[in-house]
Structures are given as structure tokens and as C-alpha cells.
A and B are shown apart, each in its own frame.
Chain A
Amino acid sequence: DAGVIQSPRHEVTEMGQEVTLRCKPISGHDYLFWYRQTMMRGLELLIYFNNNVPIDDSGMPEDRFSAKMPNASFSTLKIQPSEPRDSAVYFCASRDQGLNTEAFFGQGTRLTVV
């Protein structure tokens, strides 16, 4: 398996624009997580899915953020409208349902909102 695949690797956009980040989890994994990493706040969990169903979105900062998982092999994180304070690295991770399993991370998307 190619691992967790995120796209794009880098995104630069203007304030007010819509941004969509994409993630393809490892095939067969039941859990999918979206994290945001900043210098000030470290790694924050935004939302996670289990079997394509959102379980906990309490980490989503505002209504401007939304996430979907239409099927087991694809998820999106959308920011609309984007703001400069959204600039961060966004990670997607997936793991298997089994207890003794690690979470595998994608390479992350570095988002810069100017």
C-alpha cells in the first residue's frame, strides 16, 4: 500500500477563498483523522471518522471548517472562507479498528492563506 495520500502538498490561497484538502486513507482502515499542526498549538485533532461516519468534530474551530468522508477511500477537509490564521500544516491519518495498531500519517498539506 502507498500509505496515506494527501493532496496537495502545498497550497497558497488568498483570504476569502475556498480551500479543499484531500485524503486517501490506507485501504481497509476503519478510522480517519484530520489534525492541524501549528507552532503555537501543536497537533490538534479537528475531526475523526469511524467507518465513514463522523464521530467527534469538537475540534473543528469554526463553521468555516467542514469535513466529509463519502466513502472508505476518500475524505475532504474544506475551509470556506479561508483566513490567514488558518495557515498551518494539515495532516490526515488512518488506522485499523484493531487495538494494537498505530495511526499512519500522510505527508501533510502546508496551507498558507495570504
Chain B
Amino acid sequence: AQTVTQSQPEMSVQEAETVTLSCTYDTSENNYYLFWYKQPPSRQMILVIRQEAYKQQNATENRFSVNFQKAAKSFSLKISDSQLGDTAMYFCAFMKLEGAQKLVFGQGTRLTINP
């Protein structure tokens, strides 16, 4: 079974700073996807960024980028020029491509951006 671990329950940074959220996972699969989801106080789950395991290039979406280290099974999220609206819970998730295509989530990191 796959497991996803987020070792930082909470983080706090000042507005405009850069912050990195950590995620590690355990799997014997070779083909899979990794995701970061954001959950603001509104409770809505919003996809931030995704990474295909077969791609060596790290995914980037505007201020959000990942550092994907397949051999180390590490998938960190970097938020540059952080904004107050980035305050939310962030969940790392894993989905294998063969067989059961279900999302397995980490415990989440509560990120607070301070003015």
C-alpha cells in the first residue's frame, strides 16, 4: 500500500517570503502521479499542481513549483512571493496509474502567511 507523509503539521511565514512544504511517499510503483491540493478556510479542495512520475522536469504553475526527487521519493512544494491568500491547509497526494486510481493523501500542513 502507498503512504504519504507530510512531516510539518504547521508552518508560518511573512508575506512575500518563499516557503517550502515537504512531502515524502512510499511506493513500489514506477508509474504514478503526485499532487498538491490546497484547502482554504472555505473547505474547498483545490488542485495546486501535479507531477507525472515519468517526467524528470519539475512542474511549475506561476508562483508554485515542485522539487520532485523520484529516487528519494520526495515531492516538495515551493511557494514563491507568498500572499495572504495562500493561507490554507496543503495536502500532498499520490495516485498510481495501474489498478486502483485513487488518491492517497498525506496528513496536511497548515500554512499561515502573516502580513
Chain A residues near B (Cβ < 8 Å): 31, 33, 42-43, 45, 48, 55-56, 89, 91, 93, 95, 99-100, 102-103, 105, 107-108, 110
Contacts and interface: CB of A to CB of B under 8 A. Distances in A.
Contacts of A105: 44-45
Contacts of B35: 102
A43 to B, nearest CB: 4
Given A42-B108, A100-B52, A102-B35, A107 B43 contact: yes
A108 B102 contact: no
Contacts of A102: 35, 47, 50
A91 B45 contact: yes
Contacts of A110: 43
A99 B97 contact: yes
Given A43-B108, A45-B104, A110-B43, 5 more contacts: A42-B105, A45-B103, A56-B100, A103-B47, A108-B43
B52 A43 contact: no
B97 A43 contact: no
Given A42-B108, A99-B97, A89 B43 contact: yes
Given A91-B45, A100-B52, A43 B102 contact: no
B91 interface: yes
B44 A107 contact: yes
B101 interface: yes
Interface string B73-115: 0000000000000000001000001001111111110000000
